[in-house]
A and B are shown apart, each in its own frame.
Chain A
Amino acid sequence: MSERASVPRAEEQPDEEHADEAEPVSTGAQSVVRALENAGTEFVFGVQGGAIMPVYDALYDSDITHVTMAHEQGASHAADAYGIVTGDPGVCFATSGPGATNLVTGIADASMDSDPVIALTGQVPTDFVGNDAFQETDTVGITQPITKESYFASHSDTVGDDVSEAFALADSGRQGPTLVDLPKDVTQGETEVEPKAPETPDTYEVQEEADDAAVQEAAEALADADRPVILSGGGVIKAEASSALREFAKEYEIPVITTMPGIGSFPEDHELSLEWAGMHGTGYANMAITNTDCMLAIGTRFDDRLTGGVDSFAPDADIVHVDIDPAEISKNVYADYPLIGDARKVLRQLFDAMPRAPAADEWREQCQDWKEEYPMEYDTPDDEPLKPQYVVERFSEVTPDDTIVCTGVGQHQMWASQFWEYTEPRTWVSSHGLGTMGYGVPAAIGAKLAAPDQEVVCFDGDGSFLMTVQGLSVAVRENLDITYVILNNEAVGMVRQWQDGFYEGRRMASEYPWIPQFDKLAEAFGARGFRLEDYGEVEETIQAARDYDGPSVIDAHIDPGENVFPMVPSGGDNGLFALEEDHLEML
């Protein structure tokens, strides 16, 4: 994968000559669209409506492609996935009121995962604001806690600048969502003011490089370690630091664990890889996390699904924490060596500062032994119902390395992350921090449009798929070659797993015996549908779905008794993961 081109900055703006070619703006809405064009916007995901109509009208004359989604939640998820795959902000539109509130889930999702998204919402005319007008909501108020900044555009002359700034802000420092609320009179109003180039506000400062003395100290600590590990988070991918990470880890021979959002930052087929740690991470990663004496953690916010209880997280370790956001330092886990800066640049600084490689032969052997002791395995006797892990593994084997995997949220998400072998950054598109069921269907649409030449597979659960199934209509209309694989266990499987483990098997509202036939549902939408029940049909079904040029849905009826292991109970000790149901009782 190539390192992405950055958002055009002031100095990279279209040159004078080119700017002269464009028609001058005459309304606020045109200025909004011009700002998006200036920032390099390729796609907008959205749904039309009354208050946003002037902006859509301006979009009519633009080369930006608009993708009409079936629901605004899908628009924000598609924009989010577009942002993950390309590294550039994904853009979504919605009208005021319900349009804006429907975007909220996707904006919150982007906020939790630091994905670059800009949301533009229609608003009732300024004179009506505050009067409970038709389709009015306080969108800025609602979204303030889940954006880097929410703007209320107050004037036609400055609305384009608001959009430019929101765009730059979404993509700067720690990426994340921004929103601009656009009152209808502001977008309809006349203006001849061209928007400024994308630039972050003057109060927003980002420290790119860490303090040299601090880097030196951290490097010494890492070089002195007997049991070093690298914990690579989603921030490594966002900072385009995956290749720097690979170089660093290989040069100094330090085992690498990723967080779940960090999947793809280091190749899982490399012997230094211990794959990912956390609640359902590998046993070997969790053993290494627990027993390390020095952890280089990069671009991770130490989410509780990763750490378990912080009192037992890497309890012997000095922690070197690299993050571009100072507020992440010592927020959840105390950092002995805080290094504030861009992951790629700080990794380069660390690389140069390392006095020597840590003497960790024994430790590396120990890590390999753990791979033997706690392998990722499952039972596959032919007479049992189909195992979900088998479907994921077979699919992973036949697809190219740069295949993009999207998921919903639930057990299927865990199997897709455990049993698919990831080797490239930006190939894993999932909802982590917010855990949004329904993320998969629209995310796959955003991912496919972002990377039309890459294969896109979406693993979903029956429960998760049903939450945004209407998005299939978009995939069909746009003729997107996406393979949706529903690992169908007729339940909200993760909830059921917890009820069985922690609520004495009282399966309240977790079983879905009224699930539709997804293969037929797919056909009704105009997609290709497959039903998969037996081991013998797995390969040919996968092949047929991949061969079909357009969206296809494999309804894979899997063993409803299959649960996700290993498992660290919520707030538990990573080293005390359960490998099977019996272990849970010991914890």
Chain B
Amino acid sequence: MPGPAPDERMRPEGRRNSQGIRVDPEAEVTHEPRQAVLSALVKHRPGVLAEVSGLFSRRQFNIESLTVGPTDDEDTARMTILIEEPEPGIEQAKKQLRKLVPVVEVTELEPAAVRRELALIKVDGEKPDDVNAVAEMYGGQAVDASTDSVTVEITGSKQKIDAAVDAFQQFDVREVVRTGAAALERGPTTLDNDD
């Protein structure tokens, strides 16, 4: 003898959103994605990049860029990871990163952190002086030239490099390579293993 049918049962008033957060039953609440810069110290050993990037891909974190390189400590590498996620996703990304065994330390950098990206832009070489003039406007310089090409180096924020690439379009851009952001906190703050 089954009890009351589904629509006749005791029901609460409340409601959660799709992220499991309790919300006003009347309101429509979603968390907007924002960009976060995560900085991670990792053990400098084979396979660590695959481990980190694999984590981001299998958990479907929306990754903008990932840079990695050695630090002043030969056993440690530093990764700068830009992600764009709603708040709970950013928190989750940090915690999941911390769980990886080769990861020593993870922090989210302040929005004001120093962020730099490097781009090499190869353009048509017919007007080298004009190319140089544009490069100077963006604080860059020509680093290679041949009879029919000039390669320019630009360093700066993502926005600045976007703008520079746009500006170089007038010279027929042949190839562009960008590093993705490397970032450090402003001031004396460091991401240190020993604290």
**Interface, chain A (partner B; CB < 8 A):** 140-141, 144-145, 148-149, 152, 169, 201, 203-204, 283, 287, 290-291, 302, 307, 310-313, 315-317, 325-327, 329-334, 370, 373-374, 377, 575-580, 583, 586-587
* Residues on A with beta carbons closer than 8 Å to the beta carbon of B6: 575-578, 583, 586-587
Given contacts A290-B11, A291-B12, A577-B6, contact A201 B101 (CB under 8 A): yes
Nearest CB in chain A to that of B99: its residue? A327
**Most chain A beta carbons < 10 A, residue from B12, B51, B96:** B12
- Determine whether the beta carbon of B9 is less than 8 Å from that of A327: no
Q: Among the listed stretches B87-95, B111-119, B167-175, which one makes contact with chain A, having 4 or more residues with CB under 8 Å of it?
A: B87-95
A275 to chain B, nearest CB (A): 16
Contacts A145-B58, A148-B101, A327-B98 aside, 17 further interface pairs with beta carbons under 8 A come to A141-B50, A145-B55, A201-B101, A283-B3, A287-B10, A290-B12, A302-B20, A315-B13, A316-B13, A333-B16, A333-B20, A334-B16, A334-B20, A334-B22, A334-B88, A580-B2, A583-B5
| B1 and chain A: residue at smallest CB distance | A377
25 cross-chain CB contacts under 8 A:
A140-B47, A141-B50, A145-B54, A201-B101, A287-B9, A291-B11, A291-B12, A307-B20, A311-B15, A312-B16, A315-B22, A317-B14, A327-B92, A327-B99, A330-B91, A334-B20, A370-B3, A377-B1, A576-B6, A576-B9, A583-B2, A583-B5, A583-B6, A586-B7, A587-B6
The reply to whether B19 and A374 contact each other, CB–CB distance below 8 Å, is no
Q: Is B17 an interface residue (CB 8 A)?
A: yes
A575 B95 Cβ-Cβ under 8 A: no
Whether B43 pairs with A203 at a CB distance below 8 angstroms is yes
A283-B3, A578-B6 known; A316 vs B12 contact (CB < 8 Å): yes
Residues of A within 8 A of B43 (CB): 203
- In chain B, residues 100-126, which have Cβ atoms closer than 8 Å to a Cβ of chain A? 101-104
Distance, CA A307 to CA B20, complexed state (A): 10
Q: How far is the CB of A378 from chain B (nearest CB, A)?
A: 12
- Given the complex, which residues of A lie within 8 Å of B51, measured CB to CB? 144
- Which of A145, A169, A302 has the most chain B CB within a 10 Å cutoff? A145
B101 contacts which of A203, A311, A373, A577 (Cβ < 8 Å)?
A: A203
Q: Which of chain A's residues have a CB closer than 8 A to the CB of B13?
A: 315-316
Instruction: Bits for B13-45, please: 1 = Cβ < 8 Å to A, else 0.
Output: 111111111100000000000000000000100
A278 to chain B, nearest CB (A): 16
Rounded to whole angstroms, the CA-CA distance of A583 and B8 in the bound complex is: 12
A107 to chain B, nearest CB (A): 15
Q: Report whether A310 and B16 are in contact in the complex, using a CB–CB cutoff of 8 Å.
A: yes
B47→A203 contact, CB < 8 A: no
Inter-chain CA distance A313–B1, complex, in Å, is: 27
Q: Does B187 contact A (CB under 8 A)?
A: no
Partner of B92, one of A302, A331, A577: A331
Asked if B4 CB lies within 8 Å of chain A CBs, one says: yes
Report the separation of the CA atoms of residues A173 and B98 in the bound assembly, to the nearest whole angstrom: 14
Residues from chain B with Cβ under 8 Å of A311 in the complex: 15-18, 20
- Residue ID in chain B nearest A565 by CB atoms: B2
Decide: B19 and A310 in contact? CB cutoff 8 A: yes
Q: Which of A144, A370, A577 has the most CB of B within 10 A?
A: A144
Complex Cα gap A580–B6 (Å): 11
| Chain B residues with CB under 8 A of A287 | 9-10
Contact of A315 among B14, B55, B96 (CB under 8 A): B14
Taking a contact as CB atoms closer than 8 A, the residue among A302, A307, A326 that contacts B95 in the complex is A326
- When distances are taken between beta carbons in the complex, the residues of chain A under 8 Å from B22 are 315, 334
Interface centre among B6, B55, B96 (most CB of A within 10 A): B6
Known contacts A327-B95, A330-B88; A374/B16 CB under 8 A: no
Docked CA distance A331–B90 (Å): 11
In the bound complex, how far is the Cα of B6 from the Cα of A586, in angstroms?
A: 8
Chain B positions near chain A (C-beta within 8 angstroms): 1-7, 9-22, 43, 46-47, 50-51, 54-55, 58, 88, 91-92, 95-96, 98-99, 101-104
Q: How far is the CB of B101 from chain A (nearest CB, A)?
A: 4
CB distance from B40 to the nearest CB of A (A): 11
CA distance A334 to B16 in the complex (A): 9
Tell me which residues across on chain B come within 8 A of A152, comparing CB atoms.
46-47
Q: Which residue of A lies closest to B58 (CB)?
A: A145
CB-nearest residue of chain B relative to A286?
B9
- Shortest CB distance A288–B (Å): 10
CB distance from A578 to the nearest CB of B (A): 7
B3, B54, B88: most-surrounded residue (chain A CB, <10 A)? B3
Q: List 3 A-B pairs, minimum CB-CB distance, nearest first.
A: A315-B14, A373-B3, A333-B20
**Least Cβ distance of B71 to chain A in Å?**
15
Closest to A307 in B: B20
The answer to whether B4 and A373 have CB atoms under 8 Å apart is yes
Contacts of A169 in B (CB 8 A): 101
Cβ contacts under 8 Å, A577 to chain B: 6
B91 touches A310 (CB 8 A): no
Complex Cα–Cα for A145 and B98 (A): 15
Contact status B50-A144, CB under 8 Å: yes
Interchain CA distance A144-B12 in the complex, whole Å: 42
Q: A290-B12, A310-B19 are in contact. Are A579 and B102 (CB under 8 A)?
A: no
Q: When chains A and B are docked, how far (Å) is the Cα of A311 from the Cα of B17?
A: 5
> Is the Cβ of B10 less than 8 Å from the Cβ of A291?
yes
Q: Nearest B residue to A141 by beta-carbon distance?
A: B50
A326's nearest neighbour on chain B, judged by CB, is B95
> A333: nearest residue on chain B (CB-CB)?
B20
Q: A331: which B residues are within 8 A, CB to CB?
A: 92
- Partner of A330 from the list B1, B2, B20, B50 (CB cut-off 8 Å) is B20
**Bound Cα distance from A145 to B91, whole angstroms:** 20
Residues in A neighbouring B20, C-beta threshold 8 A: 302, 307, 310-311, 313, 330, 332-334
- Assembled-state Cα–Cα distance A312/B12 (Å): 9
B-side contacts of A140, CB under 8 Å:
47
Residue of A whose beta carbon sits closest to that of B93:
A327
Q: Within 8 Å CB of B103, what residues of A?
A: 203
CB distance from B126 to the nearest CB of A (A): 45
Residues on the A chain within 8 Å of B47, using CB = 140-141, 144, 152
Bound Cα distance A1, B138 (Å): 72
A148 to B101, CA, bound (A): 7
Specify the chain B residue showing the minimal Cβ separation from A377. B1
Residues of chain A lying within 8 A (CB to CB) of residue B55:
145
Shortest distance between the CB of B56 and any CB in chain A (Å): 11
Q: Is the CB–CB distance between A579 and B21 below 8 Å?
A: no
Nearest residue, chain A, Cβ from B14: A315
